[in-house]
Amino acid sequence: MSEQQGKRKSASGVLIPAGLFIGMGIGFAVDELVAGMFIGLGVGFLLMVLVQMFIRD
């Protein structure tokens, strides 16, 4: 794995908390904080997996 791929892979871990915070914000805005957190967490995990799949190439 090249140095650039290593940096991208470590940066993909930021997608989980980013999704969580975005979900919290949306959940807070629509008065469904817990549901927003779970949706944001799921989206963050999904995006992290997709990004890591593309990094392997």
For residue 7, pLDDT beyond 70:
no
The whole-angstrom distance between residue 54's C-alpha and the CA centroid of its chain comes to 15
The per-residue pLDDT for range 25-47, each reduced to its tens digit, is 999 999 999 999 999 999 999 99
For 49, residues 6+ apart whose C-beta sits below 8 A from its C-beta are none
Rounded distance between C-alpha atoms, residue 34 and residue 38, angstroms: 6
Q: What is the dihedral of CA 28, 31, 34, 37, to 10 degrees?
A: -40
Rounded distance between C-alpha atoms, residue 14 and residue 9, angstroms: 10
Q: Would you say 48 and 15 are in contact if contact means Cβ atoms under 8 Å apart? A: yes
- What pLDDT is stored for residue 38 in this prediction? 95
For residue 57, pLDDT beyond 60:
no
Query: Hey, where are the domains in the chain?
Result: 3-55
